[in-house]
Structure 1
Amino acid sequence: MANQSLLRIAKEIKGIQSSNDLSIIVAHQDEDIRNVKALILGTPGSPYEYGFFEFAIQFGHEYPSKPPKVEAKTTNHGRTRFNPNIYAGGKVCLSILGTWHGELPGEDWSSAQGLESVLWSVQSLMSNDPYANEPGFEGRTTDDDKKKNDAYCAKIRHETIRIAVLQKLEAMYGIQADGSIQKAPDTEKWQSDSDDASESEEESREKLRWEPFNDWQKRRFIWYYEAYLKTIETHAPKHKEAEKFETMPFEGGSNSMDGTFQYGQLGKRLLRVKEVVNQETEDWAKEGMLAKQRDSSKAYSMQSQFNVVKHTQKNGGIMNIDLELEDGNPFVWIMTYFGKPESNLDGGVFKIKISTSVKFPEEQPRVKVVTPIYHHKVSKDGVLCYNANKPEEMKNHIQMIVFALEEESPPYDPRTIVNPEAAKMFFGSAEDKKKYNRSQRRAAQDSLETGC
């Protein structure tokens, strides 16, 4: 029975990992498959939008007869309750987990359910109506209840950016309260949920632990930077600086979300994190050149991948691209993309910079379209949102970059939108789509006039 339980857990983990889900990621340490970490991306359009919410899942020896234990880790050191059902102490109340009694058939745990259904259930709590998750408040639609829900969403939205985004990135990079960088002695160390990046050295040492999701969060921070910025710009005028959060009827003691609105500070911190991420990307090029000069195996491997892709491209591969290395650096690829014939980008010539870390594939490439382009998957500052099916193969990255630029009828998925203005046009009315097409054709024409 024990072996069957382990095999099932392994199968479920592999299933999620191979699905390339953009909003859920799981990992486990090799020596203990029963202890799993999961990261859930906050639901787009909700007050949790694009936040990074971490959970620890522990499978008992009676799994799947009994559900796993789930503990919330993104809690600001046990000080912040992100949902009526996600406590500051880490407890997650769900009937599927046996931590709450369901009232309807099928709400309780059954062995037919698994890790994925657990994570989906947790993610479903992060909705536009979190106030209704509290027993006794569901279904209430009075004006007072609506105001309470709006007030609750307002502080969740603020704390999502502060705690579930900024604190995590600041801790990864060692960004201090004054914006300076303090590198940890152990470069593999990451202190999760730091208190505004101001923990003592002793507390930091206690945080030495396995953290598998750093690069996943960094890439998504780059993707969703403009969304975070838009949230701040939209909601900052609605709240005075240092205005206190409203306390909900079900909050109290240490199980609450207390604090004040500090959107002005969040905006400055957001910009600082972006600067540090961009600097890291530039440092990758320097590290890559040093690796080449030392004739390291990683430099040789990346050069070999470039040679394979270049050979494939020349012999019937993707025809409308050209590839070169920047200054001979095997970790910085320059792709020239020639707009697909008979598409809006037909005739355009676009320069795309692909920066790769010496830790590839653990750290995935960062792609920037250097030549201005109008595209719902390319941010205003050129960041391209794409997902590789085979993240360890640079050939697949090139293919998926081209696919992202050329996909004509993608399904609407807000997780892949990094240019909200362009997306509104692309997925809007027929007239909006015409404006989108004209903007793309204009970008193709301008690329010839300005040069790539």
Structure 2
Amino acid sequence: MSDQAILRITREIKQIQQGADMAFAVDYEESDIRNVRAVILGPPDTPYQFGFYEFTIKFGKDYPTSPPTVRAVTTNGGACRFGPNLYAGGKVCLSILGTWNGERGEQWSSAQGLESVLISIQSLMSSNPYENEPGYENAKSESDRDNMVQYNHKICHETIRIAVIQPLEMALDILPDGTMRTPNGKPSDDDDMSEDEAPGYDNPFIDLRKRRLLWYYEAYTELIDRELTDSGSVTASKRPFHRMPFESGGNTMDGHFDYPELSRRLALVRQKIMEETENWRVQGLQAHKDELGIAVNLQRQYEQIVENLKGHKNYSIELSLVGGNPFLWKVTYFGRPTTPLEGGIIKARIHLSPRFPEEQPRVFLETPLSHVRVSKEGVLCYFPRKIEEMRNHVESIVAALEEDDPPYDPRTTVNHEASKLFWGSLDDRKKYKRTLRRDVERSVEDAFD
């Protein structure tokens, strides 16, 4: 491969890593940048919603003349076909990859690149994937309409089980029955995943999955409740999946529905992530005591931010270390005039990992706030541009809280009740503002109790 091709791949990776599109995440092998791993977030309002679908992408010597080779990793150990174009064996059936004979103009060209590939794969995760199977695009019969519904239900179930819960159980050493894995952390005979799929094996997206689960936890639980109530007997526990006409020869999505069990496993995963977050504090205190480099670095960053706030006479933020621990920061935000939180006193805690910045901070509000960016559990959804700089994290936290008119995006609005009001009718929007205003006023009362 030429130096020019290597430079192009490097540029394409950086564009995605530094871009604002939170639907994609990429990483590469340090020893060979041609070997890339990617995560595609399942699009909202589809049966793939908020699933984390992993792919391996290998660039050949003749790139960009020829497309890269792409393999789906989220397959439950080669046992699950996640759509007409996403095979159980890992094949991604797509014209621009040369794995499907598409229409003229749909083939690969050297003007395309890594982002084009990810966008094209994401387009396969549609609201009605049944129609993606050749010969079924215009299916109109009653049996086909029933199949469409049944197909969506089982993809939805397996998205939560395989693309959300299962990888996190592996990363957290939890077995499906709720017991803990053996100390060596290797997959046991009871695990469906291959080592390639297991996030515990040098997978670069473990932290992303954990943070996003805290953001989307309410979305997952609401989806489970909706599937149980709205779908009735279709998703009744232990009911076998309906096999589609095009599923055969080991290239299937077989199994049965068990949403109560998924609900239990999901709650346990969240509990373990919260326990891990709390344990950062203990690990951090020890790192501080031992004067490890990360502790010294965070202490220095904290002192520089505090000094900078004083120099700019910024009275809207007050920072302190809880118990002198540089891994646990307390933020007190004083709502500035003309912002939605004007006059409020909002308190939050920033939990930092001893492995920062590889593991990113997790921010929890102590002040109850009916805000589109704050989950019911108090988790703040925010986006720092420079993940290694705590100053940028603090600024991004304030920006998320002060945002007056955020664009509609289900991936960033993590409080569903607040979101329905904010993007509902004019009266709903007024109710949102009244509710938020009440929370702001109570924040002052609580601060002086």
TM-score normalised over the length of structure 2: 0.95
**1:122 is matched with which residue?**
121
Contact map agreement 1:345 1:443 (CA 8 A) in 2: no
Measured after TM superposition, the shift of residue 140 of structure 1 is 2.7
Query: What is the 5 A alignment of 1:34-433?
Result: 34-103=34-103, 105-182=104-181, 184-185=183-184, 198-199=190-191, 209-237=201-229, 238=232, 239-316=235-312, 318-433=314-429
Output the CA distance in 2 between the equivalents of 1:400 and 1:389: 8
* CA offsets 1:258-281 (integer angstroms, 9 cap, x no match): 010000100000110011000000
Kindly tell me: are residues 408 and 183 of structure 1, through their superposed partners in 2, closer, same or farther at Cα, counting changes over 3 Å? farther
Measured after TM superposition, the shift of residue 209 of structure 1 is 3.9
Output the CA distance in 2 between the equivalents of 1:54 and 1:259: 21
* CA offsets 1:63-92 (integer angstroms, 9 cap, x no match): 101000100000000000000000000000
How many residues end up aligned between the 2 structures? 443
Measured after TM superposition, the shift of residue 142 of structure 1 is 4.0
Kindly tell me: are residues 70 and 144 of structure 1, through their superposed partners in 2, closer, same or farther at Cα, counting changes over 3 Å? same
Contact map agreement 1:96 1:109 (CA 8 A) in 2: yes
Q: Which amino acid aligns with 1:101?
A: N
Q: Compare 171-180 and 247-256 and name the one that shifted more.
A: 171-180
- SS at 1:168 equivalent: helix
Q: Which amino acid aligns with 1:21?
A: D
Q: Which amino acid aligns with 1:221?
A: L
- SS at 1:414 equivalent: coil
Contact map agreement 1:247 1:257 (CA 8 A) in 2: yes
Measured after TM superposition, the shift of residue 200 of structure 1 is 9.6
Contact map agreement 2:349 2:364 (CA 8 A) in 1: yes
* CA offsets 1:272-298 (integer angstroms, 9 cap, x no match): 001100000000000000011111111
- SS at 2:347 equivalent: strand
Measured after TM superposition, the shift of residue 185 of structure 1 is 3.0
Output the CA distance in 1 between the equivalents of 2:197 and 2:345: 51
Q: Which amino acid aligns with 1:214?
A: I
- SS at 2:411 equivalent: helix
Q: Which amino acid aligns with 1:94?
A: L
Percent identity, aligned pairs only? 50
Output the CA distance in 2 between the equivalents of 1:206 and 1:51: 14
Q: Compare 309-318 and 386-395 and name the one that shifted more.
A: 309-318
Output the CA distance in 2 between the equivalents of 1:117 and 1:5: 16
Measured after TM superposition, the shift of residue 146 of structure 1 is 2.5
For 2:446, which of 435, 443, 450 is the aligned residue?
450
Output the CA distance in 2 between the equivalents of 1:340 and 1:384: 19
Q: Which amino acid aligns with 1:147?
A: D
Measured after TM superposition, the shift of residue 144 of structure 1 is 3.2
- SS at 1:21 equivalent: coil
Contact map agreement 2:51 2:164 (CA 8 A) in 1: yes
* CA offsets 1:174-210 (integer angstroms, 9 cap, x no match): 0023312236437xx7x6xx88xx3399x76996743
**1:440 is matched with which residue?**
436
Measured after TM superposition, the shift of residue 318 of structure 1 is 4.5
Output the CA distance in 2 between the equivalents of 1:448 and 1:357: 31
Question: Aligned Cα RMSD in Å?
Answer: 1.9
Output the CA distance in 2 between the equivalents of 1:178 and 1:248: 30
Output the CA distance in 2 between the equivalents of 1:165 and 1:413: 20
Output the CA distance in 2 between the equivalents of 1:206 and 1:400: 33
Q: Compare 341-350 and 363-372 and name the one that shifted more.
A: 341-350
Q: Which amino acid aligns with 2:119?
A: W
Measured after TM superposition, the shift of residue 2 of structure 1 is 1.6
Q: Which amino acid aligns with 2:178?
A: G
Q: Which amino acid aligns with 1:90?
A: G
Q: Compare 8-17 and 111-120 and name the one that shifted more.
A: 8-17
Q: Compare 315-324 and 283-292 and name the one that shifted more.
A: 315-324
Output the CA distance in 1 between the equivalents of 2:417 and 2:196: 43
